Amino acid sequence: MGEQLPVVSLFSGAGGLDLAVERADAEPLVSGDPGGGLLRVSVATDYNEPALQTLKANFHDAATLTGDIRQVFTEQILDAAGLCAEEPVLLVGGPPCTPFSKSGFWLEQKRESRDPNASLLDEYVRIVRESRPEAFILENVQGLTYKTHKAQFERLLRGLGELGYNPQWKVLLAADYGVPQLRRRVFVVGRRDGEKFEFPEPTHSGWSERDRRIDATKIPHVTAAQAFADLPRLVPASLDEIVDGQYGELAAEIPPGQNYLWHTERYDGRNQFEWRSRYWTFLLRLDPNRPSTTLQAQPGPWVGPFHWENVLTSSGEERARRLRVNEMLRLMSFPDDFKISGTRSDVQRQLGNAVPLELGKAVVRALMDQLGYLDRRQAVRDVVFA
């Protein structure tokens, strides 16, 4: 297998970027392919213990470090990994996205970009400065690039640029890289040698809420139905899967791909809501013929996406149902055997905050290719098997 290249992971969460790192040289969209072991996560850090339990269950060789990154010295992180400054090939991580997420905009401090957790971006820059990795990858929600957070985003780019890393950024749509989910995330990538990073070209195409142009030369977007095709059908549904209560009947009547707007005067439902009076995800049902909308990390009881099929309650009433863990794993392009610690809500929170595997792989693979490591690995394999 050859020597594995060390990676430091910050704000690791459920390990979406970590998984992408360790499978970077695996074939795209080949289920269960772990890759050839080009990269290895040497240390993973997070403040959330359930998330670290998930990491320990799936990354047996990685050291883990629990704590608030603002109180953790870079030397502690490197020591846990058995590394010195300049030895990490990659530093990866996604600072918690809550300060920059649209879902928090009802709070004045977030509309005005005053969330104290936003300072975690500065901590990321600090650790890059003190550990001097060969390259870094930072991931976050698209909201980080909005005008509201312009000062923070520009400070981040300026700080990384002053270190000589020539940071490049781009918002990528997960579905364009084979993930069955219309999830947009910003990636910031930089190289210690100052060379410009080129983002990977999309492999898939399809229409989204912002782009109705389809590139016929690319593979069609993976649909939710395709993602779920070979999953077992469990009957009956468990109680925590059933969408019941105040809006239970209304949710069950909404067709696939529609949301609460079905029950306004403009559609054929019951005219229970005012037009555009709720968030888009309210009572949202999956469309089996399209990728899923973004999987929510902390949904309320009426926040979708819910499955497009109804289930029967014990009294024989039809109800919508929430997504199952194996379905959420598929929507994130995670392997079926990925283990996640905690309750169902813990699972959804961890997956909803994670980087979809195939999206992360595309970025990591492009970076390793441009750094020359994939060519070197292939050359070694050619010599070994010659």
Give the catalytic positions in this structure.
Answer: 97
Give, as one character, the DSSP assignment of residue 202.
P
Question: In sequence order, what are the beta bridge partners of 46?
Answer: 66
| Contacting residues for 324 by C-beta, under 8 A, at least 6 apart | 234, 241
CA 229 to chain centre: 22
Within a 13 Å sphere around the CA of 94, how many CA atoms are in the beta-carbon half?
A: 28
3-state DSSP helix/strand/coil percent for the chain, to nearest 5?
A: 35, 15, 50
Residues in the chain, total: 386
Q: How far apart are the first and last CA of the chain?
A: 15
Burial of 16 (0-12, 13-18, 19+ CB in 10 A): buried
Burial of 309 (0-12, 13-18, 19+ CB in 10 A): middle
Helix (H) or strand (E) holding 173: strand 168-173
Query: CA-to-CA distance for 286 and 340, rounded, in angstroms?
Result: 23
Query: CA-to-CA distance for 53 and 104, rounded, in angstroms?
Result: 27
